[in-house]
Amino acid sequence: MIVLVGFMGAGKSTVGPLLAAGLGLPFADLDQVIERQQGRPVRDIFAAGGEAAFRAVEHEALASFLAGPDAVLALGGGAVEHPASQRLLRPVSAVLPVVYLEVGYDEALRRVGGDSGRPMLASPDLAGIYRRRLAGYEAVATLTVATGGRPARAVCDEVMAGLTRLERAGYSH
């Protein structure tokens, strides 16, 4: 299992499939898993119950997925803010790779634009949310790769090289 974390627009859903293909693993985006399980879009879950309700659903989906077969799993940008999800990821990062795809705030916004499927874009303090989440990403990461201004293939290649180094240090995937 390899878990990708990072702010929206970091490239998790773009780099993830490339990484999965290179490793011969399936790829899953946790938001899409949740949408299938719940039968409605993430934005509707947010609208109906707020962020706290969504994070609880997200936590359950994450716990279930981590117990399953190996895959490359991209998490939503805020998954690391839920304390129970962060606790799930910390032990995982001690044994399996959690890759933090790091992106600057301005570039993240350029990449996601006005995507109406991203409820957090409507937050009045998005820059504050970004800054707050950085510590969560760093807390769970076993590998950090900068994505700013780089093509997805180059990021994927760097992740692969980093995974090879982690494997030599005793991590598996």
Q: Are 140 and 89 in contact (CB under 8 A)?
A: yes
Q: Within the chain, where are the H helices?
A: 12-23, 30-38, 42-66, 83-95, 105-112, 126-140, 152-168
Q: Tokens 């409507």, residue? A: 122
- The reported pLDDT for the residue numbered 167 is 84
Q: Are 107 and 149 in contact (CB under 8 A)?
A: yes
What does the pLDDT look like over 8-43, one tens digit per residue?
Answer: 899 999 999 999 999 999 999 999 999 999 999 988
- The reported pLDDT for the residue numbered 43 is 84
Q: DSSP 3-state assignment of 66?
A: helix
User: How many CA within 13 A on the CB side of residue 57?
Assistant: 25
d(CA 155, CA 37): 30
Q: Identify the DSSP state of 150.
A: -
Q: pLDDT: is 161 or 121 the higher one?
A: 161
Q: DSSP 3-state assignment of 58?
A: helix
Q: Classify residue 76 by burial, with Cβ atoms within 10 Å: 0-12, 13-18, 19+.
A: buried
d(CA 87, CA 82): 9
117 pLDDT exceeds 70? no
- Please give the model's pTM, rounded to 2 decimal places: 0.92
- The reported pLDDT for the residue numbered 98 is 94
Please state which of the ranges 6-10, 115-119, 142-146 shows the lowest mean pLDDT. 115-119
126 pLDDT exceeds 90? no
Average pLDDT over residues 64-70: 93
d(CA 123, CA 102): 21
What does the pLDDT look like over 68-111, one tens digit per residue?
Answer: 999 999 999 999 989 999 888 886 666 779 999 999 999 988 88
